[in-house]
Amino acid sequence: MDSPDFIVPPPGLIPSAPPPSEEPDRTVRDVPPRSLPAFPPPPGSRPAVVPVAPPSRDGVEAVEERVEAVEERVEAPTPTPQPGAWRLRAPGGLEVLLLRPVVLGRDPSADATRPDAAAIPLADPARSVSKTHALVEVVDGRVTVTDLHSTNGTRVLTPDGEARELDPGVASEVAGGSTLLLGEFAVRVDRAPLHTV
């Protein structure tokens, strides 16, 4: 105890243990469970997951209602996504569930052949992504990607490390765990984790 790194408290500062006969009863009793409070997300925050809802036939009013519903969901608990749904993940925390076809690009517009597709803009500082670059959709449970005649092309890096260039205008199946390279912009294709809570 002569070590300079060890501090000895003065006598009487730490109470000594009570004798065995005076020990308090420490029996664990049934305690009713407490419910923890639910806290809403901070104002102005956006959910990390961008669910793409099925298209509506009601035109502009339906789009405005969907936008208002999304804004309401920021303040209220969001429904859990479909377990194991296919998703796209990109830099900056963008995550898109593939619940309907999506068109990716810097400032995408819906593909004429797929007017029901959701336009998802990508923030690409290098500007290697075309304005309307690629169509991604789930067909019979499999993800397919179609390059929409982009300037810098679309490549697929498989989980095995194999790289292949997609032919413009031709839908190509993409395996889970693959990375899409839209120009130099990387987008990961995988399944959303199953929710157990």
The verdict on residue 116 lying in a domain is yes
**Structural tokens at position 107:** 């400032």
Range of weakest confidence among 79-88, 110-119, 149-158: 79-88
Range of the domain at 66: 49-190
CA-based radius of gyration for the chain: 27
Rounded Cα distance between 111 and 144, Å, is 15
Does 69 map to a domain? yes
Residue 44 included in any domain: no
**Domain presence at residue 31:** no
pLDDT score recorded for residue 182: 94
Average pLDDT over residues 114-139: 90
Compare 116 and 60 and report the one with higher pLDDT.
116
Residues, the chain, total?
A: 197
The residues near 16 (Cβ < 8 Å, ≥ 6 apart) are: none
Which secondary-structure segment (H or E) carries 69?
helix 60-75
CB-CB contact of 59 with 66 (8 Å) = no
The more confident residue out of 192 and 17 is: 192
- The DSSP secondary structure of 89-111, one letter per residue, reads EETTTEEEE-SS-EEEESS---B
pLDDT of residue 156: 95
> Coil, strand or helix: which one is 156?
strand
- The number of distinct structural domains making up the chain is 1
First to last CA, the chain: 51
Residue 66: pLDDT over 60 = no
**Confidence band of 67 (pLDDT split at 50, 70, 90):** very low
The reply to whether 196 falls in a domain is: no
Region 45-69: mean pLDDT is: 51
Classify residue 195: in a domain, yes or no: no
Higher pLDDT, 51 or 8: 8
Residue 2 lies in a domain: no
Answer with the residue of higher pLDDT: 84 or 134.
Answer: 134
Instruction: For the chain, give the mean pLDDT.
Output: 75
Is 42 inside a domain boundary? no
Kindly report the backbone phi and psi dihedral angles of residue 51, in degrees, each rounded to the nearest multiple of 5, phi listed first: -75, 135
Domain harbouring 153, CATH code: 2.60.200.20
Nearest of 36, 97, 45, 35 to residue 73 by alpha carbon: 45
